[in-house]
Amino acid sequence: MAGLHVFSLNCHGVNDGIIKYLKEASDMFDIILLQETWLSNKTSVQLEKISSGLSVVHCSAMETKLQSDYMRGRPFGGTAVLYKNNVAYSCTPVTTNSSGCCAVKFSFKHCNDVIVVSVYMPCLNVIFVYCLKAVRTQLYMYIQYI
């Protein structure tokens, strides 16, 4: 691993313009971290349009809201990790149990594994602290079992 080129973007919703922008960025970066995709599990397939050379791990924040009777308000949340298929020897999604973060473990042949996390934490103090503690707990639990 000579070096990973990582790019992070708060999408404020994935649309055709964001998809086009990410297509261009995917040529320059090994890993792309997205926040506020505003996608459900069903609509996250839009991210697969970016490049056939990318794998996508997406965590929706919309599922509970969509299971209610009807959608009120605007979409929200959602994080993703997009990575080139050849970026590492092995790439494994990490279960976070949080809609506020999405993680992938990258294993390399001749150096240490790396866990990359895309995190979205709203700036409201209580929610921010809650999200931060949830991410810390999930990563700590994951690291204990590898």
In a domain, 132, yes or no: no
Cβ-proximal residues to 136 (8 Å cutoff; 6+ apart), any chain? none
pLDDT of res. 35: 94
Give the pLDDT of residue 42: 87
Work out how many domains the chain is built from and give that number: 1
Which CATH number does the domain housing residue 72 bear?
3.60.10.10
Report pLDDT digits (tens) over 44-81.
899 999 999 999 999 887 666 656 656 565 657 889 99
More confident site: 134 or 74:
134
Does 136 fall in a domain?
A: no
- Would the pLDDT of 140 be above 60? yes
The per-residue pLDDT for 142 is 66
* pLDDT for res 139: 72
Judge whether 131 lies within some domain: no
Which pLDDT score is estimated for 101?
A: 82
> Rounded to 5, what percent of the chain is helix, strand, coil?
30, 25, 45
Residue 130 lies in a domain: no
pLDDT score, position 72 = 62
Instruction: List the domain range (segments joined by +) for residue 27.
Output: 6-120
pTM for the full model?
0.82
Q: Report the alpha-carbon distance of residue 113 to residue 132 in Å, rounded.
A: 22
